[in-house]
Amino acid sequence: MPARPLIVVLLAASLFAQSPLEQAVTLTRQKRYAEAAQLLEGIAEPAPTPQRIAFHRLKAAVASGLNHSVDAAEEMNAALALAPHDQQLLVATLVAEKQAKLFDAALHHASQLPESAPRQALIGDIQEERGEYVEAAKAYQAAIALAPEIEEYRLRLALEFAQHHTFEPAIAVLQEGTGLFPKSARIWTLLGITQYAVRQVDYALTSLTTAVELDPSLDNAREYLSVVVLETQSTPPDRTIAVLCRSTSAVCGAVQLRQSREQNDPALRAQAIEQLKKAPRDDATARCELGRAYEWSADWPEARREMEACIALAPSAQNHYRLGLIYRALKLPDLASKEMKLREEAVAKTTDENARRTNAVQAFQYVLE
Q: Has residue 235 been placed in a domain?
A: yes
- Structural domain includes residue 312: no
The reply to whether 182 falls in a domain is: yes
The domain of 97 spans 18-113
Choose the final residue of a domain: 244, 277, 293: 244
Q: What is the pLDDT of residues 81-123, one digit of tens each?
A: 999 999 999 999 999 999 999 999 999 999 999 999 999 999 9
**Cα–Cα distance, 262 to 234 (Å, whole number):** 9
Geometric angle at alpha carbon 218, from 213 and 219, rounded to 5°: 115
Which of 113, 128, 153 marks a domain boundary?
A: 113
Same-domain pairing of 174 and 216:
yes
pLDDT at 182: 97
Whether residue 7 has pLDDT greater than 60: no
Please report whether residue 120 resides in a domain.
Answer: no
CB atoms within 10 A of CB 51: 12
Q: Give the burial string for 78-89 (b: 16+ CB within 10 Å, else e).
A: bbbeeeeeeeeb
Task: Indicate if the pLDDT at residue 11 is higher than 50.
Answer: no
The reply to whether 84 falls in a domain is yes
Number of domains in the chain: 2
What pLDDT is attached to residue 232?
Answer: 82
Task: Give the span between the Cα atoms of 189 and 205, in whole angstroms.
Answer: 10
CA distances from 260 to 235, 264, 271 (A): 10, 5, 9
Same domain? For 95 and 173 the reply is: no
Domain limit, last residue, from 244, 264, 284: 244
Q: Is the pLDDT of residue 231 over 90?
A: no
Instruction: Please tell me whether the overall predicted TM-score, pTM, comes out greater than 0.85 for this model.
Output: no
pLDDT (0 to 100) of residue 355: 52
Q: 36 and 97: one domain? A: yes
Task: Give the pLDDT of residue 351.
Answer: 60
| Residue 9 clears pLDDT 70, i.e. is over it | no
pLDDT in tens, 142-154: 999 999 999 999 9
Q: Are residues 69 and 108 in the same domain?
A: yes
Q: What angle do CA 78, 81, 85 make, to 5 degrees?
A: 135
Residues 22 and 99 in one domain: yes
CA distance linking residue 52 with residue 19, whole number of Å = 16
99 & 147 share domain = no
Both 181 and 148 in one domain: the answer is yes
Amino acid symbol at 10: L
- 26-39: pLDDT as tens digits: 889 999 999 989 98
In a domain, 165, yes or no: yes
| Structural domain contains residue 91 | yes
Mean pLDDT of the 350-358 span: 53
CA distance 212 to 240: 9
For residue 7, tell me if it sits in a domain. no
CATH number for the domain harbouring residue 174: 1.25.40.10
Say how far apart CA 180 and CA 26 lie, in whole Å.
45
For residues 151 and 212, state if they share a domain: yes
Both 178 and 234 in one domain: the answer is: yes
